[in-house]
Amino acid sequence: MTDCQKYVNEIKEGRYKDAVSTIYDAFPLPASIGRVCPHPCEDACRRQMVEEPISIAFLKAFAADKIEADGDPYVIQCEPDTGKHVAIVGGGPAGLTAAYFLRRYGHQVTIYDMMPKMGGMLRYGIPEYRLPKAVLDREIHIIADSGVKMVNDVRLGKEITLDGLRDQHDAVLLAIGAWTSMSMRVPGEDLEGVYGGIDFLERLGLGEKPVLGERVAVCGGGNTAMDCCRTAVRLGAKEVYVIYRRTRNEMPAADIEIEEAEEEGVTFKFLTNPIEFYGENGKLTGVKLQIMELGEPDASGRRRPVPVEGATEDIALDNVLMAIGQTANCDGVDASLLTPRGTIACDELTFRTAFDDVFAAGDVTNRGAGIAIQAIGEAQKAALCINNYLEGDEVRGHIPYFVEREVTPEEFEDRPKQNREKMPGLTPEQRRDNFEPIYFGFTEEQALREASRCLECGCHDYYDCRLIRFAHAFDVNPSKYAGETPNRENVPVVTEMIVHDPNKCVLCGLCYRTCEQVAGKTFLGLYNRGFSTVVNPMVPEEARTFCATCLKCVEVCPTGAMRSYPAVERKVALS
């Protein structure tokens, strides 16, 4: 779980190293993920109730790039050596993330990967124009410098075996990803010129330059399909089509990817579905498309595409790239560990397989392939479970507890409009015939303006709250003892530097006892008795300057009820 609000605020205050440290508390690879993530976090950003969500992903990449450019790269701090050894199979986002956390816990870690270099789909599934591999290399080196051993060009079931890894290590994590393009089961798939989308991008990542004809179609509507069609443009194809059986509204690809593909000349054939690839002398020459229309919603909630009887269309083609999905190749994995879908079965909370010492995470697990940040999230949790196993503790995971509340646009009506910063980059004409990075990155001025748009609408102290840590440690179930939640609207201002939120206060007494016994003052006290008791400031004029430098009540507050203004606001208040 990433504290987006915290690192956005740290960027706003110019504390870029702190921002990167906050991100690394949740996962490594911020510069890489900040460039390629479809940022589901931005869908939840409440700033969109004012105008547009904050560019959380781009800010993440900016902070990581900035400290690197300043010659102050992040260094991973590790616990003392535990003497335990973990093998990770797969050097993609899941494997790298798990290795990072396990190394921080103090374990020795070795990553085994089948490809020439680490990075997985970040390297071999995402083109250079979206993720420069020099950026990825830099972030992988940070992990390697922490002591993680990396072994390439070894394949599970060939150079290494699962039994051998179990014999040599205390635990094994399988994070082998999903590297096989799904078949469309359409006649003519075996014709020359029909390729899997992942296979095509992998060849590109290996340094090859696949030869395509002038007319190319990509089947699919996800981000991989967008990578394929935009790569085809850059390789010189004159006509590039995206064939998708639903409408644009149902496409899972990021809007910006679709928009930029259109700018680069890609033609979208919505509500069409291939029913035959045909050719001459074993070579593709065209595709017959079934015209579709949307029917009733399916299990995913999207309206199901149904054929329009008798309506077809033919397109002359030289190549087809199938990008409708990808599956795992689990060669070398014991059959008893596999699901009927060919993925690895593991507990959804502990990530443990049928073997006590073998865990799994990422695209190879139960649900199948997803986006990189999902694999990273699984790997972070899996690493914690592996650490518990190695320490002899109960191997279990848990779902973090959050207090949620509904908010409405009316709550933010007083906020001035400030549009999202536009990322500078190449024009469509400049980017069509090369693989140069299409974005330049935010300038420092842009990043500060963008970060200042944050509404700071979440709990400022969630990640420092001792109460929530205890709640997680003891699996709190608030509904079991549900009662009336007090709603005290008045937030007393202790001084111009400090505010107290009575709705977060648990009346532990640390603030006023610290004020009296440590600071030697009596600026805080209690008002009322019983359930209506609240902390009440009783501050003379001298508190104006004294509290600005003391802040001991803020430091000891376990829930964040007592909070100081950020440093920037503090300067304004003092002036």
Q: Which residues contact 453 (CB under 8 A, 6 or more apart)?
A: 47, 54, 418, 420
Residue 377: half-sphere exposure toward Cβ, Cα within 13 Å = 13
Residue with the two structure tokens 């392939």? 369
Q: Are residues 521 and 546 in the same domain?
A: yes
Q: Are residues 239 and 338 in the same domain?
A: no
> For the chain, how many residues are written?
575
Calpha distance 388→382 (Å, rounded): 10
The reply to whether 402 falls in a domain is no
Q: Are residues 9 and 113 in the same domain?
A: no
- DSSP assignment of 3-43, as one string? -HHHHHHHHHTT-HHHHHHHHHTT-S-HHHHHHH---HHHH
Report the pLDDT value the prediction gives residue 470, as an integer from 0 to 100. 81
Which domain CATH number covers 217? Answer: 3.50.50.60
Rg (CA), the chain: 27
Short-list 363, 341, 345, CA closest to 354:
345
Residue 435: half-sphere exposure toward Cβ, Cα within 13 Å = 16
* Confidence at 257, pLDDT banded by 50, 70, 90: very high
Give the model confidence (pLDDT) of 321-367 as tens digits: 999 999 999 999 999 999 988 899 999 889 999 999 999 999 999 88
Contact (Cβ atoms closer than 8 angstroms) between residue 56 and residue 45: yes
Query: Is 80 exceeded by the pLDDT of residue 571?
Result: no
The reply to whether 454 falls in a domain is no
The pair phi, psi for residue 156, each rounded to 5°, is: -65, 130
The reply to whether 455 falls in a domain is no
Structural domain range at position 542: 469-574
Give the model confidence (pLDDT) of 478-512 as tens digits: 777 766 666 766 656 666 678 888 888 888 889 98
Q: Are residues 173 and 139 in the same domain?
A: yes
> What's the per-residue H, E or C state across 288-351?
EEEEEEEEEECCCCCEEEEEEEEEEEEEECCEEEECCCEECCCCCCCHHHECCCCCECCCCCCC
Q: Which residues contact 31 (CB under 8 A, 6 or more apart)?
A: 60, 61, 64, 65, 68, 135, 138, 139
Would you call 470 exposed, middle or buried from its count of C-beta atoms within 10 A (0-12, 13-18, 19+)?
exposed
The reply to whether 337 falls in a domain is yes
The reply to whether 364 falls in a domain is yes
The reply to whether 63 falls in a domain is yes
- DSSP assignment of 371-383, as one string? -HHHHHHHHHHHH
Q: Are residues 483 and 424 in the same domain?
A: no
Q: Could you give the number of structural domains in the chain?
A: 4
Q: Are residues 249 and 361 in the same domain?
A: no
Give the model confidence (pLDDT) of 425-454 as tens digits: 999 999 999 999 999 999 999 999 999 999
Q: Average model confidence (pLDDT) for the chain?
A: 90
Calpha distance 34→39 (Å, rounded): 8
The reply to whether 401 falls in a domain is no
Give the model confidence (pLDDT) of 206-216 as tens digits: 999 999 999 99
Q: Are residues 203 and 298 in the same domain?
A: yes
The reply to whether 450 falls in a domain is no
Q: Are residues 11 and 114 in the same domain?
A: no
DSSP category for residue 197: H
Which domain CATH number covers 500? Answer: 3.30.70.20
Give the model confidence (pLDDT) of 20-75 as tens digits: 999 999 999 999 999 999 888 888 899 999 999 999 999 999 999 999 999 999 99
End-to-end CA distance of the chain: 37
Q: Are residues 189 and 310 in the same domain?
A: yes
- Whole-angstrom CA distances from 368 to 38, 126, 155, 331 are 18, 18, 20, 16
Domain boundary among 288, 309, 326: 326
DSSP category for residue 259: H
Q: Are residues 415 and 523 in the same domain?
A: no
Q: Are residues 545 and 486 in the same domain?
A: yes
Q: Are residues 369 and 423 in the same domain?
A: no
